[in-house]
Amino acid sequence: MTKLQKRYPFQLLRTHVRTIALAAAVLLLLGTQACNTTKKTTTTEPVKPVSQERKAEEYLAQTIAWNTFSGKADMHFESKDQNQDVTGNLRMNKSKDIWASIIALGIAEVARASITPDSLRAIVKIGKKAYALSYKEGLELIQAQVEFPVLQNLLIGNPLINDMPVKKAETKDSLMLITVAKDDFTELLQYNKRTGTLQELQLSSEQRGFTCTIRYEKYGPITGQQPFAFNRYITINNKGQEVKLDMEFSKAELDVPVETSFSIPASYERKSIPKK
């Protein structure tokens, strides 16, 4: 048995597939147990200040515009029985697909995944295992309703659910607090009044027993001078089960050519992921 096989036991895969749904973190879809990796520091420029007299709708309209995305992030994940670090490479075409590669020990690719609005496919290089599910089957596995646009919004840094009507808007010190709601979901957004950037998001559904809090930090300009939060700190509570995910991007590019082709080698064994 190799060093990687000892560190990445096969039975952990199901746990991480569930984790991705709860945290809407695609890069953890194939995450396996890892040793610590060194966090990278990204040098960024200050974001240009904006008027403090903006209306709620103006804050909500300040979203990142993109067609393709390429990024790299160091991630730390914690749950009741997991504590791990991995590095993820990410590529996306808006509304079409998400491609992710998981790097262990800073050097070795251990897994790869492709998610579209219709499918979820993955390969694990250790043991040559392959998984292919419909997107609906993936939602049933993780026991959460996470629509495809939500995954892409989380990774880009936009509010998770768009087009929700404003229920309340108020200022508190240096923040603009905006509450939007639709169906059984409520989203509280905290914006910095000086920069207009999103500082914290709280998404909740009392009916589903679900809450998600995301803190956005270390803003810097990327393509088109759009402000991008290079650091995200995510806490998910789904029916009493809590997970935490920290994402620290060292690379983020918009509207560059991305290669998202995905195939399952013939030598890989097709496997199913049993429900818990």
CATH number of this structure's domain 3-270:
2.50.20.10
Under DSSP, is residue 99 helix (H, G, I), strand (E, B) or coil? strand
> pTM above 0.85?
no
The H-assigned helical ranges of the chain are 3-7, 13-23, 56-61, 135-142, 148-156
Degrees to nearest 5, angle at CA 124 with 118 and 127: 140
163 band by pLDDT with thresholds 50, 70 and 90 = confident
Nearest to 196 by CA among 53, 77, 21: 53
Terminal-to-terminal C-alpha distance of the chain: 27
> Cα–Cα distance between 228 and 220 in angstroms, integer?
5
pLDDT at 142: 54
- Give the contacts of 270 (CB within 8 A, at least 6 positions apart): 130, 131, 132, 264
And the tokens for 22?
A: 């709860």
Q: Which segment of 18-32, 132-146, 238-252 scores lowest on mean pLDDT?
A: 18-32
